[in-house]
C-alpha cells in the first residue's frame, strides 16, 4: 500500500485541512512555500495521467474549497502535479500541490526552503 493510501487509512498521521468521502487535503511534511498543502483522491490513482474526468470534475471544487479555507483564494496560489520520473513524482498516488502564502517565484528547479521560495 502506498504512503498516501496509509494516510487515507489513518495508518500514518497527517495534518489534515479538509476531507470528504472522496478527497483529502493535508499539509506537506516538507513545505516549499509558507502554505503547502497536498490534495489527493482517497482512491488510489497513480498520477494525473491515469485519473478519469469524473474524478477531476469533482476534485476541482474540492481544491477551490481548500484554497478558500486557507484564505489564499483571493491572493492567489499555485497548483502543481508532478507526473512520473521526469516530472519528479516521488509518491505514486495522484496529488496536487497547493502552494501559496506569499508571492511565489517561478523557478521550478529551485529546491528552496519555505521562505526562500517566495
Ligand atoms: P511529489 O514529489 O510530487 O511526488 O511530492 C510528494 C510530496 O509528498 C513531497 O512534497 C513530500 O514532502 C510529501 N510527503 C511525503 N510524505 C509525506 C507525509 N507523510 N505527509 C505529508 N507529506 C508527505
In terms of pTM, does the model score above 0.85?
yes
Catalytic site positions: 95
pLDDT at 20: 98
* Ligand 1 lining (C-beta closer than 6 Å): 3, 12, 14, 28-30, 38, 82, 88-91
CA of 52 relative to ligand 1 center, distance in Å: 22
pLDDT digits (tens, 9 = 90+) for 38-95: 999 999 999 999 999 999 999 999 999 999 999 999 999 999 999 999 999 999 999 9
Q: Are 16 and 25 in contact (CB under 8 A)?
A: yes
CA of 54 relative to ligand 1 center, distance in Å: 25
Q: How far apart are CA 21 and CA 43, in angstroms?
A: 10
Domains of the chain: 3-100 (3.30.428.10)
* Residue 112 pLDDT level (bands cut at 50, 70, 90): low
The residue among 20, 40, 19 whose CA lies nearest residue 28 is 40
pLDDT at 1: 94
Q: Are 8 and 40 in contact (CB under 8 A)?
A: yes
Amino acid at each position: 500500500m502506498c504512503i498516501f493510501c496509509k494516510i487515507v487509512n489513518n495508518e500514518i498521521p497527517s495534518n489534515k485541512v479538509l476531507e470528504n468521502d472522496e478527497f483529502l487535503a493535508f499539509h506537506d511534511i516538507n513545505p516549499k512555500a509558507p502554505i503547502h498543502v497536498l490534495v489527493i483522491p482517497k482512491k488510489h490513482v497513480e498520477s494525473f495521467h491515469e485519473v478519469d474526468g469524473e474524478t477531476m470534475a469533482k476534485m476541482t471544487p474540492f481544491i477551490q474549497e481548500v484554497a478558500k479555507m486557507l484564505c489564499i483564494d483571493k491572493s492567489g496560489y499555485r497548483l502543481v502535479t508532478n507526473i512520473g520520473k521526469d516530472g519528479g513524482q516521488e509518491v505514486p498516488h495522484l496529488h496536487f500541490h497547493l502552494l501559496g502564502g506569499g508571492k511565489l517565484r517561478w523557478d521550478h528547479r529551485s529546491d528552496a526552503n519555505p521562505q526562500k521560495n517566495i
